[in-house]
Amino acid sequence: MSEIGKVFTGAEIHDGTHLHSGKVLALMQDGSRRILTPEEVPESTATEGLAAGVLCPGFIDLQVNGGGGVMFNDAPDVATLRRVAEAHRATGVAALLPTLITDTPDKTEAAIEAAVSAIAEGVPGIIGLHLEGPHLSLARKGAHDGALIRPMEAADLALILRAATLLPNLMVTVAPENTSSAQISAMAEAGVIVSLGHSDADYETCMAAFDAGACCVTHLFNAMSQMGNRAPGLVGAALERDGIHAGLIADGIHVHPASIRNALAAKAAGIFLVSDAMATAGSDITSFTLNGREVFRAGGRLTLADGTLAGADLEMGRAVYTLTHAVGEPLETALARAISGPLALLRNHMGLGRIENPDQPLVLYDPESGAVRVLG
């Protein structure tokens, strides 16, 4: 075993799945990290004491529309992805799926090329791509541009299947109203993470889509058919069906804490955190444009002029804080929903989610405030 270079003391340690108390994190001279007991550390070892908090691997965010003052849709190129990833890394995010919101076929092709190039160039934090639309439901479009929403055609499917061969991870959000079961099956068989979202489909249609290969739901509760006493909708289907994952925007605005508690009680495994972050992440801008429409930032909300929510003004640390303080979930599980939870969906983990991996950021999370400090 390599010799110890330095140890962090005074903080609890979360390895991505489990919380360890009474341990130290050793930075080995060969660059690796190890969780050790204090008794395993020689007295002469250099020590950095941390007043409190939890050391953990960087967060994984599978829905990031922008950051650092820019939107991916506005300029789907490597420079934008680098800027977005840098902005989110400062908030503790080790890796993300840049997300293209409903747009034109040309923009979709450009986004795929940008993600492929960014990964080839080794842009830190970019691990694939999330295409959220345009094959969604007009009835549940939210802030997406209804003029660009349309059914999936053969050319769209061919483009997605090609992208799946080029990217380590590809997530596609669709509504079953505008996507056939055969198309969902073809994507799933190609390794695409097919997620249902922005859908007004009924329970039976959603269950059929799961049967076809859809394995996830995009921002649970938001922009989808709700659970009623006679019509369970997409929410009911997602919470009932085993093996289905669901992203959750835990900002206390998109979903009421009581609804989150009910969802976690119904589906303890499979729910993970997303930021659904926009250009405001990691910046102090107060407005930006989305498909030519102005989005306003105020009071922790991002809205169009008519009040429609347009993404979230949220960082992953605050999402974890919402789960622990407003919802009442244990810290160990809440942190896992920001690290190992999303990783469970990925086709290629790329070494993420392990505190022992020195290539990933080391985060100090403050459970009392939700604040994050990136140590390296």
Task: Give the structural domain span for 261.
Answer: 57-343
pLDDT at residue number 116: 98
pLDDT higher than 80, residue 40? yes
Whether residues 294 and 163 fall in one domain:
yes
Whether residues 31 and 163 fall in one domain:
no
pLDDT level of residue 376 (50, 70, 90 thresholds): confident
Residue 99 bridge partners (DSSP): 130
Segment 162-183 shows an average pLDDT of 98
Encoded tokens for 239: 């919470």
Least confident of 9-13, 44-48, 220-224, 253-257: 44-48
pLDDT level of residue 30 (50, 70, 90 thresholds): confident
Enzyme catalytic residues:
276
Whether residues 294 and 282 fall in one domain:
yes
Encoded tokens for 64: 């990031």
Q: How far apart are CA 348 and CA 27, in angstroms?
A: 26
Q: How far apart are CA 137 and CA 139, in angstroms?
A: 5
Instruction: Give a yes or no: residue 355 inside a domain.
Output: no
Output DSSP code: residue 58: P
Write down how long the chain is: 376
Residue 248 bridge partners (DSSP): 273
All residues at 6 or more sequence positions from 22 whose CB lies less than 8 Å from its CB, including other chains: 37, 38
Instruction: Give a yes or no: residue 352 inside a domain.
Output: no
pLDDT higher than 70, residue 347? yes
- How far is C-alpha 301 from the chain's CA centre? 18
pLDDT at residue number 357: 86
Which of 183, 193, 128, 129 has the alpha carbon at shortest distance from 156?
Answer: 183
Over pLDDT 90: what percentage of the chain? 91
pLDDT at residue number 358: 86
pLDDT higher than 60, residue 128? yes
Which residue is associated with the tokens 């049967």? Answer: 211
φ/ψ of 301, rounded to 5, equals -115, 150
Give the domain CATH number at 13: 2.30.40.10
Q: How far apart are CA 196 and CA 217, in angstroms?
A: 5
Instruction: Give a yes or no: residue 215 inside a domain.
Output: yes
Residue 35 bridge partners (DSSP): 25
Least confident of 27-36, 118-127, 240-249: 27-36
Whether residues 65 and 48 fall in one domain:
no
Segment 223-233 shows an average pLDDT of 97
Buried b (16+ CB within 10 A) or exposed e, 289-321: ebbeeebebeeebbbeeeeebbbbbbbbbbbbb
Instruction: Give a yes or no: residue 349 inside a domain.
Output: no
Instruction: Give a yes or no: residue 311 inside a domain.
Output: yes
Instruction: Give a yes or no: residue 255 inside a domain.
Output: yes
Whether residues 17 and 160 fall in one domain:
no
Give the domain CATH number at 72: 3.20.20.140
pLDDT level of residue 5 (50, 70, 90 thresholds): confident
Residue-wise DSSP of 231-255: --HHHHHHHHSTT-EEEE--SSSSS
Q: At what angle do helices 154-166 and 105-120 cross, to 10 degrees?
A: 10
pLDDT at residue number 1: 54
Whether residues 30 and 124 fall in one domain:
no
Q: Where are the beta strands (DSSP E) in 10-90?
A: 12-14, 19-20, 24-28, 33-36, 46-49, 54-57, 59-64, 66-67, 70-71
User: By the 8 A CB rule, do 214 and 220 touch?
Assistant: no
pLDDT digits (tens, 9 = 90+) for 244-255: 999 999 999 999
Instruction: Give a yes or no: residue 74 inside a domain.
Output: yes
Whether residues 171 and 41 fall in one domain:
no
Instruction: Give a yes or no: residue 354 inside a domain.
Output: no
Whether residues 111 and 8 fall in one domain:
no
Which of 192, 153, 154, 151 has the alpha carbon at shortest distance from 172?
Answer: 192
φ/ψ of 230, rounded to 5, equals -110, -10
Q: H or E segment at 266?
A: helix 257-266
Q: Is 290 left (phi over 0), alpha (psi -120 to 50) or beta?
A: beta
Whether residues 240 and 326 fall in one domain:
yes
| Number of domains comprising the chain | 2
Whether residues 124 and 51 fall in one domain:
no
pLDDT level of residue 351 (50, 70, 90 thresholds): confident
Please report how many Cα atoms fall inside a 13 Å half-sphere around the Cα of residue 332, on the Cβ side. 8
pLDDT at residue number 2: 73
Whether residues 44 and 68 fall in one domain:
no
pLDDT at residue number 295: 93
Whether residues 171 and 140 fall in one domain:
yes
